[in-house]
């Protein structure tokens, strides 16, 4: 999850740099197909604050039918409207008919829109779909990736995250980050928000889903989406993987 932000950050920096060099590289066409009408529906699914994208988020993920969109800002969203996103998506499909890809907002060079296809069911990336089922365990070990020695190590790592015993919320996080990571033995557990907003997770409320994922996946790396992000479009993404992958 965090790695995807680094990829997008690198992409927006590269495209912006090329654009300022005068090459007019404001967009890039991918080889994967994309449905323009579905992408417009995805834009309509974004949760807004006063008609604009929420100021607490620097990454807004949305999906409809076959189209998945990520709106990525170097900073937090500032006065970005659905109309600006629609303008960018329209411009992209004029250059890249029926294709996925990236485009810089014509009206704000700090904002990148990535146009993708929905990850298919039971694939490595299905848990990354922004409408992936909450509290559902997704277990998948890609070829060549190490197995976790013991699922119990994942539970032990998860129990290390400090909480306020009165409220059940994570504590000791000032300022609250968008990602935390702890390990125990063979397992590393990463907790992050999907939208770059602060973690506001009540551990007591999500323990059953997270520990249930770890029990179900066992030695296999796993993921579960739960509630607990500050931003209205975000969620908490809890991922387990082998400590040897770090």
> Measured in Å, how far apart are the chain's first and last C-alpha atoms?
14
What pLDDT is recorded for position 159? Answer: 95
What pLDDT is recorded for position 25? Answer: 54
What pLDDT is recorded for position 78? Answer: 74
DSSP alpha helix (H) spans, the chain = 2-18, 36-44, 82-95, 151-158, 203-217
What pLDDT is recorded for position 176? Answer: 61
Token digits for 32?
A: 């994967």
Domain limits, the chain: 2-117, 132-245
For residue 122, is it left (φ>0), alpha (ψ between -120 and 50) or beta? left
What's the CATH number for 2-117? 3.30.430
b/e burial code for range 146-166 (CB count within 10 A of at least 16 → b): eebeebbbbbbbbeebebeee
What pLDDT is recorded for position 59? Answer: 95
What pLDDT is recorded for position 22? Answer: 41
Q: Rounded CA gap, 75 and 24, in Å?
A: 23
State the 10-residue block means of pLDDT for the chain, 246 residues long. Answer: 48 48 70 98 97 94 98 83 97 97 93 96 93 97 91 96 86 67 95 92 94 97 96 96 83
b/e burial code for range 76-85 (CB count within 10 A of at least 16 → b): bbeebebebb
What pLDDT is recorded for position 193? Answer: 94
What is the DSSP-derived secondary structure letter of residue 131?
Answer: T
Return the number of other C-beta atoms located less than 10 Å from residue 131's C-beta.
Answer: 14
Strands of the chain, DSSP E: 27-33, 59-64, 67-73, 99-105, 108-117, 138-139, 179-184, 187-193, 222-226, 236-242
């Amino acid at each position: 999850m965090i790695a995807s932000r680094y990829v997008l950050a690198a992409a927006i920096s590269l495209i912006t740099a090329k654009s300022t060099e005068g090459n007019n590289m404001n967009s890039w066409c991918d080889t994967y197909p994309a449905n323009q009408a579905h992408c417009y529906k995805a834009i309509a699914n974004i949760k807004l604050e006063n008609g604009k994208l929420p100021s607490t988020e620097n990454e807004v993920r949305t999906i409809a039918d076959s189209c998945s969109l990520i709106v990525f800002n170097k900073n937090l969203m500032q006065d970005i409207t659905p109309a600006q996103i629609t303008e960018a998506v329209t411009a992209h499909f004029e250059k890249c008919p029926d294709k996925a890809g990236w485009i810089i907002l014509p009206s704000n060079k700090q904002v990148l829109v990535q146009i993708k296809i929905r990850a298919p069911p039971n694939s490595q990336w299905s848990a990354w779909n922004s409408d992936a089922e909450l509290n559902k365990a997704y277990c998948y070990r890609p070829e060549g990736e190490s197995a976790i020695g013991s699922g119990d190590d994942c539970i032990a790592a998860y129990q290390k995250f400090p909480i306020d015993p009165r409220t059940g919320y994570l504590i000791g996080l000032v300022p609250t980050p968008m990602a935390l990571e702890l390990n125990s033995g063979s397992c590393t557990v990463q907790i992050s928000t999907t939208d770059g907003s602060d973690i506001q997770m009540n551990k007591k409320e999500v323990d059953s889903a997270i520990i249930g994922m770890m029990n179900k996946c066992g030695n296999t790396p796993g993921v579960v989406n739960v509630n607990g992000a500050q931003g209205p479009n975000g969620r908490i993404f809890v991922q387990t993987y082998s400590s040897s992958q770090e």
